[in-house]
Amino acid sequence: MGENTIILRPEKLEVRGLVKRYGGGRRRPGTLAVDGVDITVRAGELVCIVGASGCGKSTLLNVVGGLEDATEGAAAIDGERVVGPGPDRGMVFQGYSLFPWRTVRENVAFGLEETRMPKADRGARVEALLEVMGLTAWADRLPKELSGGMRQRVAIARALAPEPDVLLLDEPFGALDTQTKRVMQDHLLDVWRRTGATILMVTHDVEEAVYLSSRIYVLTSHPGRVGAEVPVPFPDDRTPEIKRTDRFHAIRDEIQALLTGEVVME
Amino acid sequence: MIPRRTVFVRSDDRPGGVTPLEPVAEGAAHPAHTLDWRNSLAGRNAPTRGTRRHPLFRIRDELSAPWRVGLMIVGMLAPLALWLFMSTSSSTSLLVPSPAQTWEGARTLWHEGVLTGDVWASGRRILIGYAISMAIAVALGLLMGSFRSAESFFEAPIAFMRYIPATALVPLMLFWLGIDETPKIALIVIGSVFFNVLMVADVARNVPRELINAAYTLGAGRLRVLRRVILPHSVPGIIDVARINLAAAWAILVVAELLAADQGLAFRITRAQRFRQIDEMFALLIIFGIIGIVTDLSLRWLRNQSAPWARP
């Protein structure tokens, strides 16, 4: 797919002039976590936000998810302002946050139980998702019986079940070991290509961001601002081989340098 | 011993590559140098690093079954021994019936045909009163643990009521509600409900924020979040709260029965006192203890059954 096509896609998710201030009252200014961030994700794009800790990455995602209010500015989906959470924006959290009393199947079914979908259709959708995620054999287990990688797959399946417009991933692979992480990254790419989902993902792993994204926003810290917007020129159907190309290394090093400069300044 | 598996090492003749080591069969003889090395460590005067205490004195360590069971048995027998000693020794001025006399006392109560009636009378009051108390506690507690507004509104009055000793309300309740069942049940409710509410609220507050957020992003509204996330997550905690505060309910029931009742375990104790039947008093105290242990174990069982996911 050429880069021209990408530009023609409609803007799915927009964040404009986002400011988030924590605490603070009439006298105290509080902490400025995010200071005027603009972000655009087009339909079907997979965009990553990278930044060191304290750049307000999670805050940004929570505002898009409707879980936190912006101090100033706003997030919008298809031009509609986000004022609260909803099933149109599926979220996956770093801590998986599976419902521990529900089996894998029941976890995935949670969102569908909130819809008017007939029970038989719900069951079929859940089974299909379990299949895609390779979870069928574990469908009747409780989350505590699963490994970290498995749990994260359940979390992704659960978020995908209500067919959200946008998938928001908050450091989804942050707690996984390196090997599992690689497998999960390829799995995510696969799911993204198959579903054509629009994905906004937050990570602190630069290599992960370059490998997965169509575009990357680099956030600077204290307060969080967009330091750079980096296009990633690899095709959608990429393979791990790209990680060995000079182009990949060049992009990775460029972003790394931006972030390292940050750390030294602190 | 760490079981040996296939180990990969960098080999000199294949720079940059890895070669598997020959796997060693399980149980194969160790080479002589390994044995020498081990023997040199095991010598009497060989220096050591670190200390290892006896399992009895280790913090949070597993204890072998014989030790555990043995300690439990000693823990049960020790008070019995003390009791036996006190009932036989003449050095104490306290009049203590022997276990045998106590058993006779229990038999007397049984033959009089009052025991089952007393247990039922007391048990019924607890059952009704505590059920009302827990129903209020679950409703109000979940609300307070979920909504800051409910917490702000209810916290102060409940904290105030909690500090009024329920026993101090006994005369008032008898004055208002007479001397039949109503004041006793009301006292059980008042004596336990405020503790229960605050503790259930705490349980609800401990539902991880992320689970609630996850439910929201999956399309659940606030009431659905309450019913399908906060409630199920709180079930084991609520049963624990019920278990812990049940003792307080019994305490207040006893005070109520001492003052006005014609049936019930505590009433029977005052009657035994009037007739100087210490053996019967002891028998009744032990019945209290047995009822307590049985309900405690049942509630623990119920907790584990209702929430297998929360079991360690």
A67 vs B contacts (CB less than 8 Å)? 213, 216-217
A87/B211 touch (CB, cutoff 8 Å), yes or no = no
Q: How far is B201 from chain A (nearest CA, A)?
A: 20
B216/A97 touch (CB, cutoff 8 Å), yes or no = no
For A93-108, what is each residue's pLDDT tens digit?
A: 988 899 999 999 999 9
A86 vs B contacts (CB less than 8 Å)? 216-217, 219
A95/B210 touch (CB, cutoff 8 Å), yes or no = yes
pLDDT given for residue B5 in this prediction: 53
B219/A95 touch (CB, cutoff 8 Å), yes or no = no
Question: What are the extents of the domains in chain B?
Answer: 111-304
Which residues of chain A, if any, have pLDDT below 70?
1-8, 262-266
Answer whether B285's CB lies under 8 Å from B273's CB.
no
- Who among A95, A142, A158 is closest to B309 (CB)? A142
Name B19's bridge partners. Answer: B9
The bridge status of strand A89-92 relative to strand A80-81 is unpaired
Q: How far apart are CA B220 and CA A113, in angstroms?
A: 9
Q: How far is A46 from chain B (nearest CA, A)?
A: 19
Which site among A59, A101, A141 would you substitute to test the B interface, given the most B Cβ atoms closer than 10 Å to its Cβ?
Answer: A101
CATH code for the domain defined by A10-20+30-88+168-266: 3.40.50.300
Work out the number of other CB atoms within 10 angstroms of the CB of residue B222.
Answer: 13
Q: How far apart are CA A153 and CA A136, in angstroms?
A: 12
Q: How far is B311 from chain A (nearest CA, A)?
A: 10
pLDDT given for residue A266 in this prediction: 43
A151 vs B contacts (CB less than 8 Å)? none
Q: Would you call the peptide bond into A223 cis, given omega within 30 degrees of 0 as the criterion? A: yes
Domain with CATH 3.40.50.300 in chain A: 10-20+30-88+168-266
Q: How far apart are CA B234 and CA B239, in angstroms?
A: 9
Q: Which residues of B152-179 are buried (b: 16+ CB within 10 A; e: fewer)?
A: eebeeebeeeeeeebeebbeebbeeeee
pLDDT given for residue B179 in this prediction: 80
Q: How far apart are CA A58 and CA B52, in angstroms?
A: 45
- Who among A67, A101, A159 is closest to B216 (CB)? A67
Tell me the HSE value of A41 on the side-chain side, using a 13 A CA sphere: 26
Q: How far apart are CA A19 and CA A28, in angstroms?
A: 17
What's the longest Cα–Cα distance across chain A? 58
Which site among A59, A64, A83, A91 would you substitute to test the B interface, given the most B Cβ atoms closer than 10 Å to its Cβ?
Answer: A91
**Interface A:B, Cβ pairs < 8 A:** 70
A86/B217 touch (CB, cutoff 8 Å), yes or no = yes
Answer whether A8's CB lies under 8 Å from A44's CB.
no
Work out the number of other CB atoms within 10 angstroms of the CB of residue B57.
Answer: 7
Tell me the HSE value of A243 on the side-chain side, using a 13 A CA sphere: 12
A114/B219 touch (CB, cutoff 8 Å), yes or no = yes
Answer whether A187's CB lies under 8 Å from A179's CB.
no
Q: How far apart are CA A199 and CA A20, in angstroms?
A: 22
Which site among B216, B218, B235, B303 would you substitute to test the A interface, given the most A Cβ atoms closer than 10 Å to its Cβ?
Answer: B218
Residues of A within an 8 Å Cβ radius of B: 65-67, 84-87, 89-91, 93, 95, 97-101, 110-111, 114-115, 142-144, 158-159, 161-162, 168
Q: How far apart are CA B214 and CA B225, in angstroms?
A: 10
A90/B217 touch (CB, cutoff 8 Å), yes or no = yes
For A146-161, what is each residue's pLDDT tens digit?
A: 998 899 999 999 998 9
pLDDT given for residue A178 in this prediction: 87
ipTM for this prediction: 0.87
Answer whether A225's CB lies under 8 Å from A35's CB.
yes
A142/B220 touch (CB, cutoff 8 Å), yes or no = no
- CA A10 from centroid of its chain's CA atoms: 19
- Who among A95, A99, A114 is closest to B224 (CB)? A114
Q: How far is A170 from chain B (nearest CA, A)?
A: 12
pLDDT given for residue A191 in this prediction: 85
A140 vs B contacts (CB less than 8 Å)? none
3-state secondary structure of B72: helix
Q: How far is B223 from chain A (nearest CA, A)?
A: 12
B211/A158 touch (CB, cutoff 8 Å), yes or no = no
B217 vs A contacts (CB less than 8 Å)? 65-67, 85-87, 89-91, 159, 168
pLDDT given for residue B249 in this prediction: 92
Nearest to A21 by CA among A238, A191, A232, A224: A224
B238 vs A contacts (CB less than 8 Å)? none
Q: How far apart are CA B130 and CA B196, in angstroms?
A: 10
B207 vs A contacts (CB less than 8 Å)? none
pLDDT given for residue A94 in this prediction: 85
A51 φ, ψ (degrees, to nearest 5): 175, 155
Residue A106: closest CA among chain B residues belongs to which residue? B228
Tell me the HSE value of B126 on the side-chain side, using a 13 A CA sphere: 26
B115 φ, ψ (degrees, to nearest 5): -60, -50
Q: How far is A101 from chain B (nearest CA, A)?
A: 5
B232/A101 touch (CB, cutoff 8 Å), yes or no = yes
Q: Is the dihedral of CA B227, B230, B232, B234 positive or negative?
A: negative
pLDDT given for residue A263 in this prediction: 56
**CA B3 vs CA B24, B27, B28: distances in Å:** 9, 9, 11
Domain B111-304 homologous superfamily, CATH: MetI-like (1.10.3720.10)
Q: How far apart are CA B63 and CA B72, in angstroms?
A: 12
Q: Tell me which residue has tokens 């539902």.
A: B207
Token pair for residue B283? 């028998």
B217/A89 touch (CB, cutoff 8 Å), yes or no = yes
pLDDT by 10s per residue, chain B, length 312: 445 555 555 545 555 567 777 777 777 777 778 888 888 888 778 888 888 888 889 888 888 999 999 999 999 999 999 998 888 877 667 788 888 899 999 999 999 888 899 999 999 999 999 999 999 999 999 999 999 999 999 999 999 999 999 889 888 888 898 888 899 999 999 999 999 999 999 999 999 999 999 999 999 999 999 999 999 999 999 999 999 999 989 999 998 888 777 889 998 998 888 888 889 999 999 999 999 999 999 999 999 999 989 887
Token pair for residue B134? 């827990």
pLDDT given for residue B11 in this prediction: 47
Amino acid code (one letter) for A163 = E
Q: How far apart are CA A52 and CA A264, in angstroms?
A: 12
